[in-house]
Structure 1
Amino acid sequence: MPRIQPPALRSASPLLRQLLIVTRDSSAAANELRWLKAHARHRAVQNGKSWQTLLRAYCAWRGRHVPLQYILGSEYFGDLELRCRKGVLIPRQDTASITTHLAHLISSSPHLRSQPNLKILDLCTGTGCIPLLLHHLLSSSIPVHSIGLDIDLLALSLARSNLHLHSRSISPNSSLTFSRADVLAPSLPEDVIQTLGGRVDILTANPPYISPSSLRREAALSVARYEPRRALVPPAGDGEAGDVFYPAVLRHAVAMKAKGVMLEVGDAEQAVTVATLAKGMFGGRVEIWRDVPSGPEEEMEGFTVRGEGNVRAVFCCDDQRF
């Protein structure tokens, strides 16, 4: 973590000083102050409070490491602005990057483009960010029918709110719904299976994948303190394993005859573990994606690694379809 020089702290305004403690960077702190000021002015008009009073409260919250997205109430995912709420995992631009790459692969596949209805299933959907962005990028040219599943009622409420916010991104010949389901259950709900006709073209998931010790040691304070543990760490009783969701997700992918599967992972070690599991359960082509998958290729533990940045996802597919 970068150190802040004492003169920088002394010369900063009281509000900026609170943000510097969190951002550790004067430029980032100045940007956050500008966004918080704009948000305070907007909220003041709505509730009749002084914007200066609101701004002081916002900066105090941020100084205690409350995520900026929870204070502002939104975050961009690709070029979609999505609502955020405490208790639901904040969408990340790294996830948006791999989702955009997946959309490019889909739109470049003659087989998938010729489907009368492209069916997508998103597990552990959270804000609904992945299916919403896929619809935004694809549904104007390909009819897309998607279901996002989550066990958390607060997440489902927020996903539906984001769907309403971006309903114009869903073309008239496409559909997106959100339903409750436990991904760790032996099978998906029967109504979901029937709605999708027992098969999907694409299955995506950003499941809880952080071990308890990694959350304590490595996660930023804003994540460890304020983002929902349930969306970060697999259920209690699984020890230090962060990988427990992946066998269940891949089992659902096989049962639903998915042609392509994108699974977000935490790091390179986990990616190799999940890729090995996917090769055994799913077969086909299995590769590892970095934050920007369209970059150069390399090999790691027998798997092709695509792109630049940190390791971000495992992708497996039927070679004849992609």
Structure 2
Amino acid sequence: MNTNTTPDIASINEKRSSLTDNNADEPLELANSDYRLALFENKFVEQWQELTSNLEQLLQELRKKRHNIDTELNKQIEIALQICRSDTGIPSIEEIERRFEIEKSYEIVYEKYLNEIRAHLSQHLLSLDDALKRSLDTVKSQVAEILIEKADLGELTQARGSELISVLAVEIPGQLIPCIPSKLKLAFQILAEFELSYRGLVQYRIRPHLDGLTPKEAKTLKLTVLPSAQQVFINLKIAHIESVRNCEKGLKQLLSEPNQVAFAIVEEFVDRTIRAADVEKEWQLLLQLVRSQIWDDFLGEQGQMQHEWINSVEQATTVDEETSEVDAIFALMNM
């Protein structure tokens, strides 16, 4: 019986230790890296499905109501028209007479008052600008909410609503795929820079309705051969009433336009962000760039679970090794 068991046991342990030490650290680090990448890819697949589904759903909702009246704009139009009717800017007969004493011509006085009243009326209509901007901001905020909830992009900035779109339009890199201009960045820029305004949507359509308050236009009431302050007053009154009525008709025809515009700009955004070729790859690259900001908590929790699992495996392995050592000792002792 061989009583010199120590070298044999040491040899067994040395070989086992050598195999374990040489291979343990590197594979675990590689496994950890692969694990986090796999987590990211799985998370991205889920988010991509959620993002595309919710953007498509929003677009369908906008499509269904694109011919509906914009209630906010309708309300603001009523307010603006009421102000136009109550604050006309039309002078009194006494004021017309005093001005005649300066100008020495009722024709000149009449034309100057027409220009002033037209400017006064159009000034009141500028209040529609706020309602139009709010209408588009509401839609931009709906898009932003989806980006926050379904793509976690709210983690990148404190901005919310339409401001989030503007921030992302700046922050997204110009190239996500090397040497190719980013389609995502362009999409965000288009949506961020698009504005719905009175001057852009309404003003040019309303101006023809103000021709009755424009001197020497065909629609403008003419003074008689022997005009008076009273005639100037009456003509101004009639011209103003007709102009407000015409503006009201024109404005009522535009009540669905904000919804049509909202649908068009969101469809443009959806086309460029989830339907265009290679844009899914751009999303994946973008989220990879910012994943440390977006998914630290998620990956941290999953990484902790992985770490605990590895520890449990290592502990089980240690127990197995200790058991094997005991078995080896008894085996040698029995030789």
TM-score, reference length from structure 2: 0.25
Bigger strand share: 1
TM-score, reference length from structure 1: 0.26
Bigger helix share: 2
